[in-house]
Structure formats: C-alpha cells, structure tokens
Amino acid sequence: KNQVEQSPQSLIILEGKNCTLQCNYTVSPFSNLRWYKQDTGRGPVSLTIMTFSENTKSNGRYTATLDADTKQSSLHITASQLSDSASYICVVRGDTDKLIFGTGTRLQVFP
C-alpha cells in the first residue's frame, strides 16, 4: 500500500474555476510535506513545503493545508488557468533523504 495516497486520480475543470486536491499519508515519522507540479516528461516543480507546525501555506493561486493529526493535506487552486493542466504530486519526507511520492492527480483545465 502506497504511503501517500491522492484523490481524485484525475480531474477536469473549466478555466476560471477552483478545485481542491486531496492527499492522505501514513508516513511516520513525518518531517515535511510538499506539493509539486509535474508536466509529462518534465521535472517536478515545487509549489509548497509544509512542516509539522504549519497549517496553511500559499503560493500565488495555490494554497496548501496540512492537518498533521489526521495526516491529511489539500491543495486548492484558485481561478484555474489552462497552464495549470499537469499532474500534482503530494510528496512526504520522513526522517531520511528519501521523498515518498504520492500517486498524483492529473488535472486538465479546459477553456
């Protein structure tokens, strides 16, 4: 069982709409949680990084939340743009250098 599960697996929205992506993890011990955006065949691009004590962090139209008690995180995208079409990956770091990647959510934004 993957230690980082994301939902939905895929999502289609219209340009200008908001959406929220979910991430549940079981990684323990927990160091931090990151959200990355990855275009097909390209390197992941960091959106946010949150540690145990942080509940919310924003980066432009991206807002991430973290509930370390329930081991859940969400990524909210506001006023979506066509360029937001990509895979969004929740990545959790434990007590080693290894990043544990989630299953990803494939987002498609249509005009």
Partner 1 sequence: AAGVIQSPRHLIKEKRETATLKCYPIPRHDTVYWYQQGPGQDPQFLISFYEKMQSDKGSIPDRFSAQQFSDYHSELNMSSLELGDSALYFCASSWDRGLGNTIYFGEGSWLTVV
Q: Which residues bind partner 1 (CB under 8 A)?
A: 31-32, 34, 36, 41-46, 49, 51, 89, 93, 96-99, 101-104
Smaller CB separation from partner 1, 8 or 16: 8
Helix and strand totals (H; E) in the chain: 0, 11
Q: In what order do the strands lie in the sheet with 19-25?
A: 4-7, 19-25, 72-77, 62-67, 56-59
Q: How far is the CB of 38 from partner 1 (least distance, A)?
A: 8
Which of 74, 94 has the CB closer to partner 1? 94
Residue 66 to residue 1: CA distance in whole angstroms: 21
Which residue number, 90 or 109, has a Cβ lying nearer to partner 1? 90
Least Cβ distance, residue 43 to partner 1 (angstroms)? 4
**Which amino acid, residue 21?**
L
The pair of three-digit structure tokens given for residue 34, joined into one six-digit string: 């990151």
